[in-house]
Amino acid sequence: MEQQISLREANQHLSRYVKAVEKGEKILITHRGTPVTRLAPVEKERTLSTEQHASFKRTVARMKRGYSLGGERPSREKLHERRTH
C-alpha cells in the first residue's frame, strides 16, 4: 500500500520516510493536495536473459558497421564548387 503525505510532512520527517522506503514502502508526496512526487525503493539492476543479451550484442555489432543510406558520397571538390548563374 502506498502512503500519502504532504510536502510539509516530508520536509519535517524525511529521515523517517527514508527508513520506511528502505523497508520497501512507497510514499506519495503531495503539495496542496496534488500529487507531485513519489519516494520508492531503487530497483535492483536488471539482468538480461540469454536471448536478450544475444540480441543486444547483435544490435551493437550492427551499429558499429553502420547503416547504408544509399546514394553517392560527394567529393570535396563537388561540395565546394561555385556555381555561376
Q: Where are the domains of the chain?
A: 2-39
- DSSP assigned state of 41: P
Cell of 17: 520516510
> What is the Cα–Cα distance from 79 to 84, expressed in whole angstroms?
14
Task: Tell me the fold of 2-39.
Answer: YefM-like fold (3.40.1620)
| pLDDT exceeds cutoff 90 at 31 | yes
| pLDDT exceeds cutoff 90 at 39 | yes
Q: Which of 12-26, 47-61, 68-82 has the lowest mean pLDDT?
A: 68-82
- Determine the pLDDT at residue 84: 66
Q: Would you tell me how many other CB atoms lie within 10 Å of the CB of residue 28?
A: 14
- Determine the pLDDT at residue 80: 85
Contact status, residue 56 vs residue 30, Cβ threshold 8 Å: no
pTM, entire model: 0.52
